[in-house]
Amino acid sequence: MNESSEHVTITGYLTFNGDGRTPDIIGQTCSGLVVCQYYEGTILADPANVVYFQFGDYWYSICFEAAMVFWRHKTQIGSSVNSTLLHGTIFNDLSELEGVAGHQLVTIDYNSTPEGNVNVKFLFDSDTIFSLDYDSSTDSTKISADSPSRRG
C-alpha cells in the first residue's frame, strides 16, 4: 500500500486499526508528549509501548503491532500503577523535548516492511523529526528525536 497526501505519506504494508486513518492533527500545535515505557525487572523492554501527543483538548495515542498502527484519543491519560517488581509501566513526560511541544506538526510519514516493522516520522515546524521504530520480532518500539541543534 503506497498512499500520499500533502502531509501524510504511507509506504509499505500498513493497516490502520480503529477508524483506519491518521487523526486530524496536521497543522495543530503539540502541547504535550508522554511516553509509556514497559520494563521487565531492571530492563527497559519497550522504550515506547504507547506514545501520547497532546493537541488541543485531546491526547492522541499511537502504538503498534506487526504492520499495524493503532491511533486512539482521549481527554486524559492514565497513570502508572504496578502491582509487582517483575514488570510494569512507567510514564515518561517528554513535554520539554526540544522542538516538539509548542510546535506545529507539519507531516507524518509511515513506512513498513514485509516483516511487519513500522517506522513513523513526525516532522514539526521547528524542523525536529520525532521517530518511532517498531520491531515486530521483539514487539518493541524505539524513539528518537533529531532537532536542528543536534545536527550541528
Cell numbers describing residue 12: 509499505
- Return the pLDDT at 45: 94
Cell numbers describing residue 149: 541543534
- Return the pLDDT at 80: 76
As a whole number of angstroms, the distance between CA 9 and CA 141 comes to 20
Strand partners, 97: none
Angle (nearest 5°) at CA 139 between 88 and 46? 40
- Contacting residues for 130 by C-beta, under 8 A, at least 6 apart: 33, 97, 100, 121, 122, 124, 143, 144, 145
Is there a contact between 126 and 143 (Cβ–Cβ < 8 Å)? Answer: no
* Residue among 118, 117, 97 at smallest CA distance from 109: 118
Residue 151's H or E segment, with its range, is helix 148-151
**Which segments in the chain show pLDDT lower than 70?**
1-6, 18-20, 151-152
- Return the pLDDT at 2: 45
- Contacting residues for 91 by C-beta, under 8 A, at least 6 apart: 34, 35, 36, 37, 77, 78, 79, 80
As a whole number of angstroms, the distance between CA 47 and CA 139 comes to 11
* Residue among 143, 119, 140 at smallest CA distance from 130: 143
pTM beyond 0.85: yes
Q: Report residue 80: phi and psi, to 5°.
A: -95, 115
